[in-house]
Amino acid sequence: MTLQAVVNNVAPMPASKDVVVDIQKMSLTFQTADGPVYALSDVDLTINRGDFVSFIGPSGCGKTTLLRVIADLERATAGDILINGVSPRQAREDRAYGYVFQAPALLPWRSIERNVTLPLEIMEISKEERVKRAHDALKLVELNGFEKKFPWQLSGGMQQRASIARALSFDADLLLMDEPFGALDEIVRDHLNEQLLKLWARTNKTVAFVTHSIPEAVFLSSKIVVMSPRPGRIIDVIETDFAKDRTLDIRETPEFLEVAHRVREGLRAGHSYDD
Amino acid sequence: MTTDAATLPAARTGPGLWTRMMKGQTGPVCVMLIGLFVIWYIGAIFMNMPGQLDRYARAKQDWTVSQLVEATLNQDRPVLPAPHQVAAEMYKTIFATKITSKRSLVYHTWVTLSSTLLGFGIGTLLGILLAVGIVHVLTLEKSLMPWVISSQTIPILAIAPMIIVVLGAIGLKGLVPKAMISTYLCFFPVTIGMVKGLRSPDHIQLDLMRTYNASRWQTFFALRWPSSMPFLFASLKVAIAISLVGAIVGELPTGAQAGLGARLLAGSYYGQTVQIWAALLTAAFVAAMMVVVVGLFEKRVLERMGVRA
Amino acid sequence: MSGKLDKFCLVGAVFALLSLVFPLSGVDPETGKNVAFVSDLPGLASAMVACVVIGVFFTWSGVTSVLRGSIILLVVIYGAWQAIATLYDHGLAGYASYGFWMFIASLWALVWRGIDVIANYRTLDQGKQQTANIIVPLAFGIWLLFLWEVITAGFGVPQVLLPAPSMIGVRFVNSTGILWDDFRQTFLKAVLAGYVLGCGSGLLVAIAVDRVPFLKRGLLPLGNMVSALPIIGVAPIMVMWFGFDWQSKAAVIVIMTFFPMLVNTVSGLNAAGRLERDLMATYASGYWSTLFRLRLPAALPFIFNALKINSTLALIGAIVAEFFGTPIVGMGFRISTEVGRMNVDMVWAEIALAALAGTAFYGAVALAERKVTSWHPSFRVRRH
């Protein structure tokens, strides 16, 4: 645990200091007109402080739902979840989450700066402090100079970076990213992946990252959670130990390919269940 | 599916009829309507009370609360007639009076309805023609469209009495002048809706027609016209409603001879509140029915075009 | 130069030529003589000749540039001026005959061609393009006014039936006092009060209703249906309840404007996207915070839509309600009484005032919309 992480931790910490997310035997069932849908079943998962965890799996495997349960946007129907040792709801009210969605979800009527200060406004932080933090966050995603622009004046990649800055601005414990680069083209995506990695190395944030790209998952993560649909469940958890300052070049190394292979095997095993 | 088969039937039966009604729109709308009636009755009691108390005081008559309430709901010329009074008046003038009689609300409704429909028909035709011109001739679009749009901001109904009186002065009376007002009111929404509708095909669809070397008219009938149908019906609903308003307002300055507007005016001259309310509710009913009929046509046409309801 | 002849210019030239030949005016029944001859009117004759010349010239060389289009329009303006001068200064009013109308037809063909060129003008220069975009409808509008003037004067249409625009203009300028009083009564008192009350209460009720899904499901279909009803019919009732003065008109307007605002605001409050709502939820943002930071701003385009619809409805409501009884002032009152006295020019002046007030009111709301919701895509996307 680095000094930075300790300093950032404002909320009082419970007994096990290193565990941010602790999920045990958690299930989520949706009641629909066609009968119940088992979105998540028997999920066990721990995320430690400073981890970069990727959730990967085919669509319908519940990876987004899992992220939403962690963020208290959905309620689990069974099992236990603790975030920082408290319930997801308590954690949400303590402002523990920086959520980045598939789309930038910037408010079109606010300038980039005012979009980034939005959470700070809600958390009733003083004006000068807001501007200062927005400035810092925008610098982290290399968007300084665009403070006064409106969202529509930025490209898709820049908009998504702005939304990441927004998630960073209030120093949330846990950065939750739901396919943040899914809608972008591959070149922009590679670039943003590298930037995100640098950001993670610098801030030592805990990140939960949903994707359906194997190279992206392997490249970014310290821990890869492979999931499978119907019912949504975890079938494999792979720990990697690439250097924190890795670059895109490692995608050619045998170690990288080996991990990617294992992920692919896991996904295939999950699929065979299906048909 | 890995779903447990045993749980399925239970899920299929679903919630009861009552819950479904309350979850949908029917239940809440019914509750609102009942609430409206209750408020109407309470309003009638309170708004008619001062007049009734006055009457009691003048007659130096004793009264109980139940007498007072009953009296307020059955006045001759109440400030606000109670629903049952309006219903009785409507029954009397719609069912219990001969249709040919000047007292029959059916007769007055027909007078208004005929000019509404005539105006609606002509206005729609004109509106569509104008829209076709605007879509196909750039100069017409650039010169005329700004005026069509800004004419929407003008209180056109203000012209109604003048059209009636002026046309009356040169011998045009009855149906036609009123229908002209309706025409005038109808054709703007139709034009604007149709211009939008005829322009609604995508670029790629238009490009596709170009690759076939389709003529303007082929493109029009194969692509533009069908894609404009949803827009046409949306405008028609607005147009028919406003057409009725035009016909009613057109009846105001004619010295109150016939029609729902004339009934409103006569009622307001002689303080016949029950008559006003009866005419008003009839007009509302007619408007709602016409919109429903247009909606049914819309459904049929769109179904035939393969649009799912 | 293209091989094709310019049809509009050809038509213009031919009609101008014919107008020189055909008799300009009819016969005065008293004197038994023609009222006027082209040969006595050098101004009109020169305009006709000019139309022939440019018509013939552009028929072959084509109207290929905005400059040529402008030359045509200048000639048309000269011709129109001469036509009106002939009507009023040389007693042609009421006696115009074939020659005169052929000249008007010639002007019509030429003005269409001139407008056509400017309408098709394309440039990357924003300023120039905007000027062109304004000139086209303006020229068209002026042309229609000219046509109206010439037809009413040329045919001697009785003033009771349709007064000429110039007559309406004169009446407007001469009765500014009365018009101002009517405007104050109808617009500044009834319309503004009713509009503010109706829109305001619609907005507040919508926000309240939005919190109760049951109310929302019940009120929305009703509110939608109400927009199809002839609400204006409540005017006589309101006049009975609230008296003859502006209060009863304001009451009609409140009822008319309430439902559009209610329906639009309720759907606007649902316009905020799911992602944005989830985002606010992850910040544990409270109801009011989300309302003011996300949902109301997202609803603004809808609210402005209602404000625009209501701006027209309000004026109509006030004027029509005045038909049911007013103190002796107000736009609706003036229209109905002057129509009874057959003072049609005054009625038209009043209508012009209503049109002016309506357009200005709508324009003000639209301007505010542009200011407040400039972020909305509809102000950036260009139509194809």
Tokens of A236: 């494999």
Please give the DSSP secondary-structure letter assigned to residue A169: T
**Residues of chain C positioned with their CB less than 8 A from the CB of A99:** 278-279, 282
Helices (H), B6-137: 7-13, 17-23, 26-59, 65-72, 83-94, 105-136
- pLDDT, residue B67, reads 80
Q: Which two tokens stand for residue B227?
A: 């894609």
Cross-chain residue pair B277–C332, CB shorter than 8 Å: no
Contact yes or no for C229 and B253 at CB 8 A: no
Tell me if A69 sits within 8 A of A81, measured CB to CB: yes
pLDDT at A15: 42
Q: Rounded to an integer, what distance in angstroms lies between the CA atom of residue C7 and that of residue C51?
A: 14
Please answer whether residues C98 and C34 qualify as being in contact, where contact means their C-beta atoms are separated by less than 8 angstroms.
no
Q: Which residues of C touch A (CB under 8 A)?
A: 273, 275-276, 278-285, 289, 293-294, 297-298, 300, 373, 375-377, 380
Chains that touch C (3 or more CB pairs under 8 A): A, B
Given this model, what pLDDT does residue C232 score?
A: 83
In which band, very low, low, confident or very high, does the pLDDT at B256 lie, cut at 50, 70 and 90? low
**Which chains does A contact via 3+ CB–CB distances below 8 A?**
B, C
Bigger pLDDT: B297 vs A109: B297
Does B2 contact A38 at a Cβ distance shorter than 8 Å?
Answer: yes
- The stretch B86-110 carries a mean pLDDT of 81
> Of A27, A32, A34, which to mutate for an interface test with B (greatest number of B Cβ within 10 Å)?
A34
Dig out the tokens for B121 from the structure.
């028909």
Cis peptide before A151 (omega within 30 of 0): no
Q: Which residues of A touch B11 (CB under 8 A)?
A: 31, 33-36
Phi, psi (5° rounding) for residue B43? -60, -45
Q: Is residue A155 within 8 Å of residue A112, measured between CB atoms? A: no
User: d(Cα B130, Cα B195) in Å, to the nearest integer?
Assistant: 9
- Determine whether the interchain pair C230/B139 forms a contact, defined as Cβ–Cβ distance below 8 Å: no
In tens digits, what is the pLDDT along chain A, a chain of 275 residues?
344 443 344 444 444 458 888 888 888 888 877 778 888 888 888 888 888 999 998 887 888 888 888 888 888 888 888 888 888 888 888 888 888 888 888 888 888 988 898 888 888 888 888 888 888 888 878 888 888 888 888 888 889 889 888 888 888 888 899 888 887 888 888 888 888 888 888 888 889 999 988 888 888 888 889 888 878 888 888 888 887 778 888 888 888 888 888 888 888 877 654 44
Tell me how close the Cα of B51 comes to any Cα of chain A, in angstroms: 55
CB–CB contact C240 B271 (8 Å): yes
pLDDT over 70 percentage in chain B: 92
Residue ranges with strand state E in B121-253: none
Separation of alpha carbons C62 and C69, rounded Å: 10
Cβ contact A99–C282 (<8 Å): yes
Residue of A nearest to C292 (CA): A122
Helix orientation angle between C176-183 and C331-340, rounded to the nearest 10 degrees: 130
- Give the separation between CA B229 and CA B298, rounded to whole angstroms: 8
Residue A4 is predicted with a pLDDT of 42
Q: How far apart are CA A259 and CA C235, in angstroms?
A: 78
Residue B180 confidence (pLDDT) above 90 = no
Instruction: Decide if A36 touches B, using CB distance below 8 A.
Output: yes
Subunit contact C162:B288, Cβ cutoff 8 A: no
- Give the dihedral of Cα atoms B37, B40, B44, B46; nearest 10 deg: 120
Sheet of A223-228: strands edge to edge?
A97-100, A174-178, A206-211, A52-56, A223-228, A233-239
Range B52-77 average pLDDT: 80
Q: What is the pLDDT along chain C (384 residues), one digit of tens a residue?
A: 445 788 888 888 888 888 888 887 777 777 767 767 777 788 888 888 888 888 888 888 888 888 888 888 899 999 999 888 888 887 777 778 888 888 889 999 988 888 888 888 887 888 888 888 888 888 888 999 999 998 888 888 888 788 889 889 999 999 999 999 999 988 998 999 999 999 999 999 999 988 888 888 888 888 888 877 888 888 888 888 888 888 899 999 999 999 899 989 988 898 888 888 888 888 888 889 999 999 999 999 899 989 988 998 899 889 888 888 778 888 888 888 888 888 888 988 998 899 889 889 988 998 998 888 877 776 665 443
Pairing label, strands A206-211, A52-56: parallel
Question: Which residue of chain C is at minimal alpha-carbon distance from B245?
Answer: C230
Please give the ipTM for the structure prediction: 0.79
**Class assignment of domain B105-304?**
mainly alpha
DSSP C266-309: HHHHT-S-HHHHHHHHHTT--HHHHIIIIIHHHHHHHHHHHHHH
Q: Per this entry, what is the length of chain B?
A: 309
DSSP B97: S
Whether residue B124 has pLDDT greater than 90: yes
Domains identified in chain C and CATH numbers: 7-157 (no CATH), 173-379 (1.10.3720.10)
CA angle A178, A179, A184 (to 5 degrees): 145
What is the predicted pLDDT for the residue at C379?
A: 67
Contact yes or no for B160/C361 (Cβ under 8 A): no
**A78-83 β-sheet, strand order:** A35-48, A19-32, A78-83
Strand A233-239 relative to strand A35-48, pairing: unpaired
What is residue C384's predicted lDDT score, i.e. its pLDDT? 36
C-beta separation of B244 from B160 below 8 A: no
CB of A108 within 8 Å of a chain C CB? The answer is yes
Nearest to C312 among B32, B155, B159 (CB): B155
Instruction: Measure the CA–CA gap between C209 and B182, rounded to whole angstroms.
Output: 35
Dihedral (C-alpha) C170, C176, C178, C180: value to the nearest 10 degrees? 140
Q: Supply the Cα-derived Rg of chain B in whole angstroms.
A: 26
Q: Please tell me the distance in Å from C295's CA to the nearest CA on chain A.
A: 10
Residue B29 has, within 13 A of its CA and on its CB side, a CA count of 10
Distance from CA of B12 to the nearest CA of A (A): 7
A31 touches chain B (CB under 8 A): yes
Q: Tell me if the bond preceding B177 is cis, omega within 30° of 0.
A: no
HSE, side-chain direction, 13 A CA sphere, residue A96:
29
Q: How far does A35 lie from chain B, in Å, by closest CA?
A: 5
Least confident among A182-196, B125-139, B250-264: B250-264
Helix axes B225-250, B260-270, angle to 10 degrees: 30
Strands (E), C96-184: none
Contact (CB, 8 A) for B259 and B171: no
Token readout for B228 is 């404009």
pLDDT in tens, B76-86: 778 888 888 88
Domain A3-96+172-272, CATH class in plain words: alpha beta
Task: Quote the DSSP letter at residue A86.
Answer: B
| Closest CA–CA distance from residue B5 to any residue of chain C (Å) | 33
Q: What gap in Å lies between CA B132 and CA A199, rounded to an integer?
A: 58
- Is A35 close to B14, i.e. CB distance below 8 A? no
Q: Which residue has the tokens 């303007």?
A: B216
Identify whether the C-beta of residue A173 lies closer than 8 Å to the C-beta of residue A151.
Answer: no
Domain parsing of chain A, residue ranges: 3-96+172-272
Out of A92, A102, A151, name the one closest to residue C282 (CB). A92
Side chain identity, residue C367: L
Amino acid identity, position B293: V
Contact predicate A62/A229, CB 8 Å: yes
Shortest CB distance from B165 goes to which of C140, C339, C362?
C339
Single out the residue of C187, C100, C112, C116 nearest to residue C150, CA to CA.
C100
Q: Which of C160, C219, C230 sits opposite B283 (nearest CB)?
A: C230
**Mean pLDDT of all residues in B266-277:** 83
The pLDDT tens digits of the residues spanning C173-212 come to: 999 999 999 999 889 989 999 999 999 999 999 999 888 8
Residue in C closest to B22 by C-alpha:
C214
Q: Which residues contact C54 (CB under 8 A, 6 or more apart)?
A: C9, C12, C71, C72, C75, C110
Query: Which run of H or E residues covers position C136?
Result: helix C126-154
List the one residue out of C265, C236, C230 whose CA is nearest residue C249. C236
- The structure tokens listed for B132 are 């076709």
pTM of the model: 0.80
Q: How many C-beta atoms lie closer than 10 Å to residue B208's C-beta?
A: 14
How far is the C-alpha of B253 from the C-alpha of C96, rounded, in Å?
35
The pLDDT, as a whole number, for residue B254 is 60
Residues of C with Cβ-Cβ distance to A150 under 8 angstroms: 375
For chain B, the domains span 7-80, 105-304
User: Does residue A274 contact residue A231 with C-beta atoms inside 8 Å?
Assistant: no
pLDDT number for residue C200: 95
pLDDT at B253: 67
